[in-house]
Amino acid sequence: MSSATVHVEAMRELILCGGVFNSPQLLMLSGIGPAAHLRGLGIAPRVDLPVGHNLRDHLMVGLRWRRLGPGPFRRLMRADRIALAMAQAWLFRTGPASTLPLGLLAFLRTRPALEAPDLEFLFRAASLDPRPWFPGVTPTYEDAITVNHPLGTCAMGRGSDAVLNPDLRVRGVEALRVVDAAALPDMPSAHISAMVMMLAERASDLIRGRPPLAPANV
Ligand SMILES: Cc1cc2nc3c(=O)[nH]c(=O)nc-3n(C[C@H](O)[C@H](O)[C@H](O)COP(=O)(O)OP(=O)(O)OC[C@H]3O[C@@H](n4cnc5c(N)ncnc54)[C@H](O)[C@@H]3O)c2cc1C
């Protein structure tokens, strides 16, 4: 990798969209973050902001049951069968390897008075960590489960605990916006990918100076 320093100047503004961990890291390396923390790392602080303080994620409790016998998905993952299934998917766009082994989702309110669901059930029929196996060559896999919805490390808002203004500009810095999941201030009652896309659409309107869309009646 080259160690040369490249100097680039932006005519209008910079858009940082490295994701919920890399965006705050780049800000902090640039001296934008909690001043005492940066000093402790040998970085000269330029703007004292609570970058990285608001990290949130959807917590998950995994409940696993061992099947009485191997399920159809695990049988399919035997190396020779999955190889055939993948060839079938590639050639004819059909067969078990042409679909995802998804389970069922259910969103629930733990109390009827709640405005939005605060609990989600994720029923999965297959492991999240499947891989081909073959008797006597590689052992089969165990089932495992996780969730990845981190956000909020450069939260937008109006208070002193906000890193970004409501127009996604880094407070106290000229012409620098963060446009990714780091900008979302709080956790929604949903998976967050659609919100990140909505945020990016909104950011493009803000950057081009377009007025916001009228609220949709959905
Ligand atoms: C395994 C997994 C499963 C998920 N499943 C779902 C789901 O089912 N539904 C849902 O709604 N959400 C899901 N999510 C969450 C969703 O994918 C993220 O919330 C969303 O992608 C966040 O978008 P982003 O633009 O903030 O960051 P990212 O999508 O992470 O994009 C950041 C980009 O910046 C690049 N980058 C970082 N640092 C640098 C650098 N220094 N230089 C250049 N490039 C850099 C990265 O390579 C990456 O391409 C899942 C996430 C994971 C990890």
Report pLDDT digits (tens) over 170-196. Answer: 999 999 999 999 999 998 888 999 999
Say whether 131 sits in a helix, a strand or coil.
coil
Q: How far, in Å, CA of 183 to CA of 34, rounded?
A: 17
User: CB 94: neighbour CB atoms within 10 A?
Assistant: 11
Report pLDDT digits (tens) over 91-141. Answer: 999 998 998 777 788 999 999 999 999 998 888 767 666 778 888 888 776
**Ligand 1: which residues within 6 Å by Cβ?**
17-20, 22, 148-149, 180-181, 191-193, 196
If one compares 218 and 165, the residue with the highest pLDDT of the two is: 165
**Nearest ligand 1 atom, CA 151:** 19
Burial of 91 (C-beta count, 10 Å sphere; 0-12/13-18/19+):
exposed
Q: Tell me the CA–centroid distance for residue 107 and ligand 1, in Å.
A: 23
What pLDDT is attached to residue 103? Answer: 75
C-alpha torsion sign, points 44, 46, 50, 56? negative
Q: Tell me the CA–centroid distance for residue 19 and ligand 1, in Å.
A: 6
Residue-range domains of the chain with CATH:
14-57+150-208 (3.50.50.60), 59-146 (no CATH)
Q: How far, in Å, CA of 178 to CA of 51, rounded?
A: 11
If one compares 23 and 74, the residue with the highest pLDDT of the two is: 23
Contacts of 52 (CB under 8 A, 6+ apart): 24, 28, 33, 34, 153, 154
Q: Which residue's alpha carbon is nearest to atom 36 within ligand 1? A: 18
Residue 7 among the catalytic residues? no
Say whether 209 sits in a helix, a strand or coil.
coil
Report pLDDT digits (tens) over 9-23. Answer: 999 999 999 999 999
Burial of 153 (C-beta count, 10 Å sphere; 0-12/13-18/19+):
buried
